[in-house]
Chains A and B, each alone.
Chain A
Amino acid sequence: MTELLKDMPKSLRVVFGFNQLDLSKVSGYFGVLFIYLLLMATIHATMLGATVIAKEERDKTYEFLFTKPVSRSIIVTAKLLAALTNIIIFNLVTMASSMMLLAKYSHGEAVNDEIARLMAAMFILQLLFMVIGSALAAVKKKSKKAASLATGILVFTYFLSVAIDLNDRLTGLKYFTPFKYFEAKNVMYGGGFAAVYVVISVVLIAALTTVTYVFYKNRDLNV
């Protein structure tokens, strides 16, 4: 099996995510699978972040909610907390089901720590993409379009990460795609999270959250 994969051209291995992961081990298998879980989780987070902010205008319910005696900041806080709860549930369910399923096939290999670490990485990226979505919804005049734009950014950064794997000369661009921040092989075998990416993520999340609040507060609510 391993031989077979090694004979595959590099580009194919990269596109499928086999590169540098040992598929004969269950952790390696999960590492390959992880990118797809990550994609699903981040798409979910992006859509959630964008629509939770945009939906009052999309459904024209803003004339109800925003004429109540609460400030916009409080409403945004409640909305972001609701989205956060969803994201946490998504993450925990993914973690629990991954651990249960892999336990059946691990043949004694301890993978739960690795899974937990990958899920922690996934959570950071979920948060990041959620606030990318919410910030876009707060900034864009037509907030309805925020979800598709945010998903576009997600797809673009994902393909950028694949392109970086394919072409060494693009390595410098790795800071621009969150999909390169916490790669399975590094998180599982390389001893965890690289500090620089954690810092970038935290700064981005904080900045985009601020953008969400500031722009939404000053926004003209209109259909």
Chain B
Amino acid sequence: MDVIEIKNLTKTYGKARGISNISFNVEEGEIFGFIGPNGAGKSTTIRILLSLIYPDSGSAAIFGKDCIQFAPEIKKNIGYLPSEVFYYDNMKVKELLNYSASFYKKDCNKRMKELADIMDLDLNKKIDDLSLGNKKKVGIVQGLLHEPKLIILDEPTSGLDPLMQQNFFELLKEENKKGATILFSSHILSEVQRLCNRVAIIKEGKIVTVEKISNLTENTYKKFKVETKAPLDATYFQISGVHNLEVKGNVTSFIFKGNINDVMKKIAGVEIMNLWIEEPDLEEIFMHYYEKEA
């Protein structure tokens, strides 16, 4: 079953911002990455899913129900963590969390304490006095305390130190094992790579591709770095399947997709000092997608 179905969603703001004709599905039980640079339309899409804003055309459904028409009902089972968290300043953390819990008709007290423990959050502080990272922790606890079936995260790691990030990711994996579906938006590829099963890449309001992370990183792409005795002509490795070709002095690097023998023959044709062949990380593949479109 698809937890999120997005069909031809379009939303334009005054200037160039917005999204156009976005479609993708998120299946039940997966951790789905939503990736793109700032301003590409990630938050716009998420805000439409949460019916904070309304689309110009197209539709989105969550748990099989239209996300505008059934908004209050759907939101019972959604936990949301925005990229920047803002709360009512003169409230204590505990008060805010209790207020948040009061919207869901179940007892969230036990879970709240567990989460606060994991995230090392002091419940008795005033929100006003919290640092950015600690506010983010409040956001995490607040988003998860009602044990939602769908967790929507918009750039969730900003402000968290690496240790807390680790705890947070473990927490997400646990929730996922218990059956929660996660939509994880980010511009940091390594974290998406670490966590997600599938990923949608968005650029300037359009979906560039939706693929399995494993498809993106394994099998298809190889990263080459060749150090030669004499500087190479920039066009030497210009064969089909080569992307992101870069020549820096004696070092030539590129990403290759295709028959590996072709590129090995080219390498055999020059005197090499050293050779690295690696799995490219998502970032490099991502850059490749962006260049192709540009």
Tell me the bound Cα distance from A70 to B52 in angstroms.
12
| B50 closest partner in A (C-beta) | A67
A contact residues around B142 at 8 Å (CB)? 64
Given known pairs A70-B103, A218-B54, the reply for A63 and B71 (CB within 8 Å) is: no
1/0 per residue, CB under 8 A from B, across A46-84: the answer is: 000000000000011111101111110010000000000
Give min CB distance, B70 to chain A, whole Å.
10
Give min CB distance, B51 to chain A, whole Å.
8
Asked if A63 and B54 make an inter-chain contact with CB atoms under 8 angstroms apart, the answer reads: no
Chain A contact residues: over half helix, strand or loop, or mixed? Answer: loop
**Residue A124 CB within 8 A of the other chain:** no
Asked if A221 and B53 make an inter-chain contact with CB atoms under 8 angstroms apart, the answer reads: yes
Asked if A71 and B86 make an inter-chain contact with CB atoms under 8 angstroms apart, the answer reads: no
Give min CB distance, A63 to chain B, whole Å.
4
Given known pairs A68-B103, A70-B103, the reply for A62 and B52 (CB within 8 Å) is: yes
Tell me the bound Cα distance from A59 to B90 in angstroms.
12
Asked if B72 and A220 make an inter-chain contact with CB atoms under 8 angstroms apart, the answer reads: no
Inter-chain CB contacts under 8 Å: number: 51
Give min CB distance, A205 to chain B, whole Å.
27
Given known pairs A59-B88, A61-B88, A63-B80, the reply for A221 and B52 (CB within 8 Å) is: yes
B contact residues around A70 at 8 Å (CB)? 72, 103
**Residue A222 CB within 8 A of the other chain:** yes
Give min CB distance, A143 to chain B, whole Å.
14
Q: Which residues of B in the span 99-142 have a Cβ within 8 Å of any Cβ on A?
A: 100, 103-104, 142
22 contacts between A and B (CB under 8 A): A60-B84, A60-B86, A61-B86, A62-B52, A63-B80, A63-B86, A64-B85, A64-B86, A64-B87, A66-B50, A66-B52, A67-B52, A67-B80, A69-B73, A69-B103, A70-B103, A71-B71, A71-B72, A218-B54, A220-B52, A220-B53, A222-B53
